[in-house]
Amino acid sequence: MDAHELITRNAAEVVTEEEIEALADDPEGKRAYVGYEPSGVLHIGHMLTANKLIDLQEAGFEVTVLLADVHAYLNDKGSFEEIRHTAERMRDQFIAYGLDESNTQFVLGSDFQLDDDYTLDLHALELETTLARAERAMAEISSGDSVKVSQAVYPLMQALDIPYLGVDIAVGGMEQRKVHMLARDVLPSIDREPPTSLHTPLIADLGTGRGKMSSSEGVTISMEDSREDIESKVNDAYCPPTADPDPTDDGVERDNPVLQVFEYHVFPRFDAVTVERPEEYGGNLKYDAYDDLEADLESGELHPADAKGALAEYLDRLIAPGRQQLAE
C-alpha cells in the first residue's frame, strides 16, 4: 500500500485533498497528532484514531499523542489530579495497543498550554471568535447541557495546539471537524498556517446500530474488557443478516456496527480474517479484504453468529496486550 493509500484509507474526510497529497508525496519527517481527553479507560473510539496513527507511522510520519489534561479539565471531566493519573494510564495503554513507542511522542497539554506565549495567542484568538462559533464547534464534544465559558475557550486552545505542537496533520473523529474548521479560519489571524486535518468515521452504538459508540452511553468495548465481556457484548450486538431492509420503527437509519468494527478495527490490523465454522456448516472462511466479508454477510453466505464469533476473537487479540498491561 502506498503512502497516500495508508494515510487516507478508512478516513471519512480529509481537509484538503491537495494538502494530503503533498504530504503523501514526502511523508518522511512529517508529524501527525491526535489529542485525547484523559477520561475513563481507552475504548474502541480512541482505538479508531489510534489505528490511523499506526497507518501514518507506517507511511513514514512521526506521531504525537496529546494527553489533553487541560481540555479534559475544561470539559468538566474531574479534578486535575484525577485527570493526570488517567493520562499516565492511557499512555501505557496506547503503547500496549500497538503505537510504535520509538516514534510516538506523548505530550501533556499542561506542559505547554500554560506558557505566557500560548496564553497571549489564546487571547488573540478569543478576540477573533464569536461565542456562537465556539459553541457550534463544541456541539459534539462538550459534556453537559449548559454552555460554560470554559467550553468556548476549549476549541480555541485545540486550534492553537496545532502550531504549538508543530504538527503537519491534525487527526480526529468526525466530531472534531468543526474545531478543525474553526482552526483553519482563525489561525491565519495570528500568522499561523491553516492546518490540514483528517477525520475518522463515527461508529454506531454496538447494541443498537444507532448514534455513535462512546464510553459514556450505550455499549462500547474497552481495553479493560475481559474475553467474556467482549463475547457477550459482541453476541448482543445489532447485526441484521442483510443490509437494513427498512429504516426502523422510529425512522432513524441504523448502521451495522459489527461490520463497522470489522472494517475500521480488524482489517486494518490483521492481514486476513478467518471465520471458524464447523465442517457441517461449510467449514472455515478466510477473508483477505473487508468487502468480501461484507458481501458474504449480505448474501447470507456468512451467518451473523459466525461473524460475531470471529469478531470477538479478533477484538480480544487487539485488546489482550492492554488487559495484560493493566494486570502488571
Residues that bind ligand IYR (CB under 6 A): 34-37, 66, 68, 71, 141, 158, 161, 170, 172, 176
Binding site annotation covers 154? yes
Nearest to ligand IYR of 183, 312 (CB atom) = 183
Grid cell, residue 9, equals 484509507
Q: Residue 248 CB, nearest distance to ligand IYR (Å)?
A: 28
Binding site annotation covers 151? no
Nearest to ligand IYR of 84, 303 (CB atom) = 84
Binding site annotation covers 161? yes
Q: How far is CA 135 from CA 50, 70, 123, 178, 313, in A?
A: 27, 18, 17, 10, 41
Binding site annotation covers 214? no
Nearest to ligand IYR of 170, 237 (CB atom) = 170
Q: Residue 170 CB, nearest distance to ligand IYR (Å)?
A: 5
* CB-based closest residue to ligand IYR: 35
Q: Residue 197 CB, nearest distance to ligand IYR (Å)?
A: 9
Nearest to ligand IYR of 141, 275 (CB atom) = 141
Binding site annotation covers 33? yes
Q: How far is CA 306 from CA 232, 284, 303, in A?
A: 14, 10, 5
Q: Residue 62 CB, nearest distance to ligand IYR (Å)?
A: 16
The per-type count for the chain, helices as H runs and strands as E runs, is 13, 8
Contact by Cβ (8 Å): 141, 194: no
Beta bridge partners of 62: 31
Q: What is the distance between the alpha carbons of residues 225 and 228, in angstroms, rounded to a whole number?
A: 8
What 132-136 contacts at long range (C-beta under 8 Å, 24+ apart), as own/partner pairs, is 133/182, 134/182, 136/178
Of the chain, the end-to-end C-alpha distance in Å amounts to 36
Q: Residue 158 CB, nearest distance to ligand IYR (Å)?
A: 4
Residues of each annotated binding site: 33, 154, 158, 161, 176, 215
Residues of each annotated binding site for ATP: 215
Residues of each annotated binding site for L-tyrosine: 33, 154, 158, 161, 176
